[in-house]
Amino acid sequence: MWVKICGVRDVDSARAVSDLRPDAIGLNFHPASPRSVDIRMAERIVRSLPTDVEPVGVFVNRAAAEIVEIAAQLRLFTVQLHGDEPPSVAEELTRSGLKVIRAMRIDEATADGLPVAVGDFRAISLKGVLIDARVAGQYGGSGQSAPWDRIAAHWKPEWPSLILAGGLTPANIANAIAATRPWGVDTASGVESSPGIKDVQLVRRFIESARSASQP
The CATH class of 2-213 is alpha beta
Give yes or no for residue 93 having a pLDDT over 90.
Answer: yes
Beta-ladder partners of 187 = 5
pLDDT above 70 covers a percentage of the chain that reads 96
Q: Which residue has the higher pLDDT, 146 or 57?
A: 57
CB burial of residue 115 (10 Å; 0-12, 13-18, 19+): middle
Mean pLDDT (the chain) is 94
Confidence (pLDDT) at 200: 97
- Distance CA(1)–CA(92), nearest Å, equals 28
- Residue-wise pLDDT for 15-50, tens only, equals 999 999 999 999 999 999 999 999 999 999 999 999
* Kind plus residue range of the DSSP H or E element containing 179: helix 173-180
Do residues 59 and 30 make contact, with C-beta atoms less than 8 angstroms apart? yes
Estimate the crossing angle of helix 39-48 against helix 11-18, to 10 degrees.
Answer: 30
Rounded distance, CA 112 to CA 156, Å? 13
Cα 176 from Cα 75, distance rounded (Å): 32
Q: Which of 161, 19, 14 is nearest to 6 (CA)?
A: 14
Domain layout of the chain by residue ranges: 2-213
Residue type, 108: E
Rounded to whole angstroms, the Cα distance separating 104 from 42 reads 24
The angle at the Cα of 58, spanning 67 to 12, to the nearest 5 degrees, equals 115
The H-or-E segment that residue 194 falls in is: strand 192-194
The pLDDT assigned to 19 comes to 98
Whole-number pLDDT of residue 133: 86
- 50-81 pLDDT, tens digit per residue, is 999 999 999 999 999 999 999 999 999 999 99
Give the residue-averaged pLDDT of 133-138.
Answer: 69
Which residues of 15-140 form beta strands (DSSP E)?
A: 24-28, 54-59, 78-81, 99-106, 128-133
Mean pLDDT of 186-199: 95
> What is the rounded CA–CA span in Å between residue 134 and residue 149?
15
For 118-133, write each residue's pLDDT tens digit.
Answer: 999 988 999 999 999 8
Select the more confidently predicted residue: 186 or 215: 186
Instruction: Identify the three-state secondary structure at position 29.
Output: coil
Predicted local confidence at residue 138, as pLDDT: 62
